[in-house]
Every structure is written in structure tokens, then in C-alpha cells.
Amino acid sequence: MEDWEKWKKWQNYWWRIMILEDRGHGGWRLFGDEPTSQVPNSSLAIQSLEKCVAILLEDAAAEFADLDGEVRVDCFTVPDPAPDAVPVYSAQMRIYDHW
């Protein structure tokens, strides 16, 4: 199989970061201005989606280190998921658990 044939069958993923503050009453909310961002293909070429999400989750938890709550990364196979779309992969962690 040629190298280009491997890329032809590539599955793209898009992610979004959600945050839930302990003192907040609004539930999970989207973080940032963009609804989703593409998981870099260069990352997916060398590691699993789960590993990519673990790295994103650690970075997000570090960014919110001054908050008490949870952070979640949801992944989709489309760049514009419907509001009720179920992620193909999702992971979350307590923000304070990061430190």
C-alpha cells in the first residue's frame, strides 16, 4: 500500500472543551468562541484519539487551575455537531485533580 493510500482513508475528528464550575448553576458550558477545533492529523498519525484527548484534557485543566469544577473534551466526526449530538469519544476530569 502506498503512503498516499493510507491518508486517503483518514478519519478526521473535531473536539470541543466543556467546563462545569462547582458554584455555577448553568451546567456544562462551551469554552471558547469556536464550537469545535480539528484534532491535528499530525497528532493522530502517531497516537490514538484517546491519547490526543488526554493531552488536550491536561492542557485544559492547567488553564482552569484557579477554578473548582470539571473540564470535559468531547470529540466528533463532523466539524459542526448538532446540539444534541453524542460524541464519538469524551473524557473529563476534576480541575483540581490535575495538580
Domain residue ranges of the chain, discontinuous segments joined by +: 3-98
Q: Is 20 helix (H, G, I), strand (E, B) or coil?
A: strand
**Tell me: the pLDDT tens digits for 18-48?**
988 887 667 888 887 778 999 988 888 889 9
- Per-residue model confidence (pLDDT) at position 39: 92
- Per-residue model confidence (pLDDT) at position 68: 82
pTM above 0.85, yes or no: no
- Per-residue model confidence (pLDDT) at position 2: 56
Whether the per-residue pLDDT at 1 is higher than 60: the answer is no
CA triple 35-41-44, angle to 5 deg: 105
**Chain-centre distance of CA 97, in angstroms?**
18
Whether the per-residue pLDDT at 93 is higher than 70: the answer is yes
Distance CA 63, CA 60 (A): 5
The residue count of the chain comes to 99
- Per-residue model confidence (pLDDT) at position 99: 46
